[in-house]
Each structure stands twice: as structure tokens, then as C-alpha cells.
Amino acid sequence: MIIEKDVLEKLYKKELKTDEEIANIYNVTGNAIMYWRRKFGIKTSTARERIKYKAKGLLDIVNVSRDEFLKLYNEMGKVKIARLFGCSKRLIGDKLKELGITPLSKTERILIRCPDEFTQEQKDVIYGSLLGDGNITKTGKNSRYKETHCLDQKEYLEWKHGVLKPFSNEIKPKDTEMPSGFISRCFDFKTCFHPLFNDFHTLFYPKGKKELPDDFEFRLNGLILAIWYMDDGHLDGFEKKGYITIASSFTETEVQRVIGHLNTLGLDVTYGHYDNDTKGINIIRIHNTDKFFEMTGKHIVECMKYKVPLRLGGIEKKTVNPQSVDEWFVHLRKHDFMFPSLNSKVTQAEIKGLINSEVIVKNNELFCDSSSGGKLCKSIFRNFYLSSKKGSLAPLEVFKEDDKLKKSLEVCLKYNGKITESLIRTNICNQGGVNNFKPVLAKHIYNTWCPPSGSILDPCSGWGGRLCGFMASTAGSYTGIDVEAESVKNLKKLYEKMEPFFPNKTFESYCVDFTKFETDKRFDLVFTSPPYFDAEVYGNSPEQSCVKFNTYNKWRDGFLKGLIDKSWDYLKAGGRVILNVPDNGKHSIAEDVRKFLEIEIEQKIVMNGRYGQTKRFEWLLISKQKI
């Protein structure tokens, strides 16, 4: 996310936008905006404060005129106006009564806001898009249009979004797994539900499934054909093959009908078919390219002209050179941070690696070279990239700094000979990000110290590394506790993602400070990696231990000792407490753990050095068995 302090302050304090509304602008979560506000020292505004603020061009709600309020209401509705002014929905309802404005349903407001009919351009764009990538859904009496495009065609989607205003809702990111298993970074937008879309639903979905409309031959024009081509056509290898193609999901019979009509227009069209793992794809091959672009050329959007032959005014398709720092930098600044996404094939490889990888144990030293499971966790725990070591920038902050991002790209190229999304993420995390507990190491600990089908309690569950390891272990149940609501929500997502591979596992999670957690259950193993006091910044919760206890001595006595005592209380007879703590640092956490807990076994977790750095280690302190 790229946002400056003055911009964020203007949006939040002057324009009175909520965290969620700002998040929608930048395609991130509300938690991310809250994180940046706190980083910049922009204090949270109370409802009372927000009502009192007077921003440039935006009057206090008390003084808003009836016409202004009516316009806001028709455009936004009660909920969004309440967010805008930082007040309750009920207060907005009272304001409507005060001004004599009759409350309307969402549909009624849409009908007021939107025109009574489409422009001819809007009709043609919708029709052409429905031949291609668009679709119409109907709920109740009205229908709406929806379309998704990949990252490379986001500008094209934005063009369509603009054409369909004021019916268009906002564009949102949406990663999509293709039939091949490839994860495509996509964006989509939906229009509002409106009766004007019903005619298109009737035309294209008379029986509930998309069909070639009966009026196709009558309706087809240059713009409609251009839209269909920009959606589903390509020019790859044109100079060699001598024709362009349009891939279609319509049936062979319907495609033959299309071909018949296009041939009446002199386009010299033939049929083709491409087999895949499903039903296959029907192909429309257009041989008279000069005639085709004579019909469609003036309608091709500038960003899509790479689909036009160079001799007819087309442009080269832009790709990012994997060995060019400058090209990658421009690409990233245009498209923002790329969170990891795993397709089915990579997910299965992660699971296989997690199952098959083992930890090497030598003289009470643990060596875990496998990172299997880590990608799975990071693909779900996006808040991982908002965390940092004390005094360092979080990965998303590193990404924001031009000089630091360029340095990361240079390091990728220096040590790997190329630049990729994955390498970029790894390197910016190395500049100040934190580590997730390795799932393979967690699996080893569970299999070693927890009886088969036994129960595990994790007081500080973090970003899912220990849950991930549990799923591949012989243990039977896992209870995770964390103060960060986003992390607890993501724990559930991770469990649901892995559960099909590891059935018959029991999982539950709670968003609470562990020292306040209460349960009647008793566990075979309590294992966690507690916060290292204030060495790392994990999130925004006021329940974070270093926030509640702002000096080490207070933290040691108020949190660390409380965690250990409660962990011991929740053990079954024969159970153990295991803590992963640092070897050294500003504070003597390991020594204090040894004072609060009777340790039977001490093991060293040997950490991998990065780019030639000396290897270090952390402690795995294992208590005696509870009698």
C-alpha cells in the first residue's frame, strides 16, 4: 500500500472517511489503515469528535442543508452517511425525519441515482462483454452485471467501469484460480442491481445458462465485436499463423452460427477446437484481419492495442524483464504489493513437503532446513506483512520506501540472478520483518512430546506456523489463543484450507489475552513461542502484552510468569510446557523462564543464516512432566 501521512490525515480527519472506506480506496483491510494511522500518530476520532469536525467543503452534520443531505442520502444511504460523519445510523434516521425526507429502500435510491435508460455505448459494451468475460446475475426482481480481469488488464477493466457509471460499484482485488491451477491476480467490479439489466439477463440467460442471443446477427456491430475480441481474443504468433482467434465458451452449434454471420461480413472465418481437462474450448479463427480491424480498430482501447498488428497501428505488449530493477520498480509502483497466493498444485506440494520433511537432531540441537507449510501460512495471514522488529520497518513499510524497495530488487538480482514476486517478498521481510514458526519444526515437537491423538494448547498462536505443523502431526486437537482478531480469523481460514488433507483433527481458537483465558479442559502439551517483550511489533490490539506492561520487569512479572503459571495449571498429569525463547538480546527472557518453570530438557533451535550471516540459535525449554 502506498499512502503518505498527509494524504491519510486528509482522508481520515478532513474528509471524515472511516478506516474501511479508506481501505476500499487502496484495496487493503481496515486493519491495515488503522495500523498506518497509528504509525503516523493519527489518533482515532470518537463519534462525538467526528460530528464536531468541519472539513473543507463538508459542513457539520448539524448545519447540512436539506438539499445537500438529500443528495448524500440518495447516493450513500444511512449506513454510509453514518460512517462519513462518525455517528450512529439512528442519528441519521432522526436527521431524515427532522428534514422531512422520506426514507427509501436501497432499490428506490438506486432508481433515483441512475438514469432511466442506458446510453447506446453502454448497451454495446454490456452486450460485447456478455459475449466475452462478463456475466449477469438476477436476484429477486432486478439484475446486475459483473466482470473480472487479470492484473495486466486492470486498466481495461477500469475503462469499462467508467463507461458503466453511475451503475458501477467499486473495483476490488480478487485472486482467481484458473482451470490450469495457475493463480491469476485479478480485479472485479459489479454494478448495482437495476431493472435495466433484466433485458440482458433475458437475452443471454433464458434458461439460466449463458446462450448466444437470438438477436446476435441483428445487434452485432464494430464496438460489440471489438469488446468481444479484447475480452477473449489474442494475436499471439499472428505474423506466423496469419489469423487472429477468439476463444468462446458457447457451444459448437452456437459458434458455427457466429462463424456463419461473420463470413457474411467478409471476415473469412473458420472453426477450431482446443481440448483441455474439462469440456474444451471452441475457437473462432478470423483470417481476413485487415477487414476485421477495419471494423473494430477505432474501438480498441489504447491499453489493449497490443492485440492489434503492428502494421495496423498496434503496440508491443509490455512485460517485466526479470533482470531489470527499473522495470520491476515501475511495475510494483503501478500495481502495489503482491500478497502470495497458492494454486491447488502448490498447495499440494506444500502439504507433501510438510508431511515428508523431518528435523535433524544432533546433540540436543534441532536443524530444520525445510520451510514447507510457510507459504501456506503467509498466503492467508496477510497481517504478517504488517509486523516488524522493534525499530525496523514492517515489510509493507519497506515496500513503500522507494530506496528500500530498489535495494530489495537489487539484492534479489545479486543473489538469485533474477527478480520474482516471491523473492521480493522474502527480501523485504529480511529487512525488518519477523519470523513465523516453521511448521515442520512444530510438527516434530508435537510428534516428540505430545502423545498420539493428544491435545495441544497454544497460548500465543501468531501466524499459524504451529497450527500448520499440528495438522500434519499425530496430535488430535489444537486450541489457539491470540489477542489479534485478524490472526484468530486467519487461524480458522488456515484450518479450513488444510482440513481436507488432514480430516479428523479438532480445532478451536479464541481472541483473548491468555492470562484471562478460562477453560475446563486440560491438555497434554502447552507449546508456544511467547512475545519477546517489545522486540517485535505484532499488531494494533491494546491487549498486546508489551502495551499492557510497558517495562520489562512489569512484563516479566505480569505476563510471562502469568502465562507459565496458567499453562502449568492447564496441563494433564504427565503433560509438559514447552517454550521457544531467544538465546540473547536486551532482556534475559530465557533465564527468567528457567526461574518460573522447572526445566528438564533444553534444546537449541539452530536458525539459518541469511546471505552469509552467521547462524544463531533460540532455546526450546521443555519442562518436567506434571505429576
Which residue range is the domain that position 16 belongs to? 5-111
Judgement on whether residues 94 and 142 belong to the same structural domain of the protein: no
Task: Look up cell 513503500; give the residue.
Answer: 400
Segment 199-221, tens digit of pLDDT: 999 999 999 899 999 999 999 99
The domain spanning residue 499 has which CATH number? 3.40.50.150
| Mean pLDDT value of segment 273-277 | 71
Q: Look at residue 319 and tell me if it is in a domain.
A: no
- Give a yes or no: residue 415 inside a domain: no
- For 478-492, what is the mean pLDDT? 94
Mean pLDDT in residue range 285-311: 91
Question: Which of 8-17, 258-267, 397-406, 427-436 has the lowest average pLDDT?
Answer: 8-17
Nearest partner of 48 among 90, 98, 86, judged by Cα: 86
Which grid cell sits at 502? 488432514
Whether residue 162 is found in the same domain as residue 68: no
159 and 306, same structural domain? yes
* Arithmetic mean of pLDDT, 160-178: 83
In a domain, 557, yes or no: yes
Whole-number pLDDT of residue 58: 41
Are residue 126 and residue 271 in the same domain, yes or no? yes
- Is residue 432 assigned to a domain? no
Average pLDDT over residues 367-393: 90
Same-domain status, 130 and 273? yes
Q: Among the three residues 312, 327, 349, which one is the final residue of a domain in this structure?
A: 312
Q: Are residues 89 and 128 in the same domain?
A: no
**pLDDT at residue 106 is higher than 50:** yes
Q: Cell 491487549: give the residue.
A: 543
E runs forming strands in 356-488: 360-362, 365-367, 388-389, 455-458, 477-482
CATH number at residue 228: 3.10.28.10
- Same domain, residue pair 466 and 557: yes
The number of domains in the chain is 3
Q: Shortest CA distance to 409 belongs to which of 424, 426, 397, 396?
A: 424
The reply to whether 140 and 264 lie within a common domain is yes
Both 454 and 591 in a single domain?
yes
pLDDT of the residue at 37: 83
Which of 293, 312, 331 corresponds to the end of one domain?
Answer: 312
The CA angle 388-611-399, to the nearest 5 degrees, is 40
What are the tens digits of pLDDT across the range 468-482? Answer: 999 999 999 999 999
347, part of any domain: no
Which residue, 292, 312, 332, sits at the end of a domain? Answer: 312
pTM equals 0.64
In-domain check, residue 609:
yes
- What percent of the chain is predicted at pLDDT more than 70? 91
- The conformational region for residue 366 under phi > 0 = left, psi -120 to 50 = alpha, else beta, is beta
Establish if 305 belongs to a structural domain. Answer: yes
Asked if the structure places residue 570 within a domain, the reply is: yes
* Rounded mean pLDDT, 605-615: 63
Separation CA 388–CA 393 (nearest Å): 6
Determine the Cα–Cα distance for residues 158 and 303; give it in Å rounded to an integer: 11
How many Å apart are CA 179 and CA 411, to the nearest integer? 34
Same domain, 139 and 69: no
448 and 304 in a common domain: no
Q: Are residues 174 and 251 in the same domain?
A: yes
